[in-house]
Structure 1
């Protein structure tokens, strides 16, 4: 007779649900610490004998029991509960001794495949069976004790009525949620571990984390988050910004915001008439000095006007200064600006000059 996790059993008139199932094999003692579990053949199982131990919880109430069924015993099983006794009660005699190994585990269990324990079973014959006391000495350092009785298998019944099926379904759903939670937790720890590795070699930020998951921080978000940029309420386009920085400083700031990921950069750095164009992803960045104000247009190529294209077409010179700066940013070199231009006063950001 064999049952499975989530089965509802009636045990001596009360209903329980199986929350764990453990299969044991009898093994031959070999190591020194196992020799204490050798005994005369009449008190030992044969190597390879196996049995199942089921952990059950009461459908109503808090009672927890163990049901142990041996593969070659079709008449009897053992029903027991955890005991706080450290030795067999008076009158009990040693009935069986041996060495067990866990070979299979299912459900919510503290046992693991490969765990081994020496065990001793004491019995006190009584009317209708026998009282039993178990002692298990797990080689991972734990001792467990249980006491109960031998019970005819006819007193163990599998329940399949509607109420039992509803309890079984509820238990399965609970187990699935717990397993999913464990998997999700494992994935979460894995992600944290990867972030830790990433952090150890890089300057980790929320933007870097987003980029790792394929959602990079955009320059448009940066402009919305930075006080140096604003859009006029009467602007006919929400992707045209005014920058309080000069055109070169604006370009450097935007290159920083996209981690240097630009291409096809071209510029005209004539003071007072600066035009800087570059591409990043699907967007075009057009930075111009218009009547002394720095204008920034960020949009897809399809949204560029004819006037925009004329400005871009006239800007055919590339000094490679900004391209070189973008390369330095991609290499995570923090000295990029110092290498490309000197700064005169920490508060002066309105007259930046590149030297080349």
Structure 2
């Protein structure tokens, strides 16, 4: 069970719209789970739908303002979590970490959660278990409501970007007046990541250790021919972007399917060319409107490798080779 942002779903018969999606991994184990931020018509506060593993456990919860578990709850689980993927209108970032405690009520149904994020912020929520059969797509979701939510999210990102732009200007002036030399390219990329303007795929193509040249393309894309094979170029792009890829897949049912990488700002398609070369086409990011059925047919090995890179997994490229 997995849903995309801006999708309408029914939870226990009530309609919600998914406005944010956060994927987590337990730091010391392979446990993984996904948290969806849900907005209901006429309600300002979000609810949280948590889906663990292969739908082994589902929980619906809401934020509460208390720092300890209520009476009647016992500690069920604890550990440290790391954010491995973010989508939609969210303040979370890939790489964020928090210690967590999960409590279960003696009735076996109600749950209480405490998260202590690195940096000092603490979140608490209370909720209850939900049967996976009580979660389904909502075919009657209002397109008007979804567009309104997307507009609010874009407005929020614009204001955040404006604030970051002011920060970049201030940092640039600092370097101009306070040091003799501008930082080298790698340091400059690190600085951009720090202020929320990360390395772009198009820049990585120009900085890559293999030769590249721009070629003609259609549909507003920028295209390049690179002197390496398509698989190597794809893995290099994922690594060059520090694994900050929202999605990565191939579509096996297509003839000569491209490797597809999607970031917050770009969509990249890498295809094999002649004599060990590859073509890389870079387009502006757009909403993936493929049907749920077609998405299930995709091979998401590249997305899993991006997660390996983001989390610093020592297995490296062997993950892709084995799959």
TM-score with structure 1 setting the length: 0.44
- Higher Rg of the two aligned structures: 1
TM-score with structure 2 setting the length: 0.49
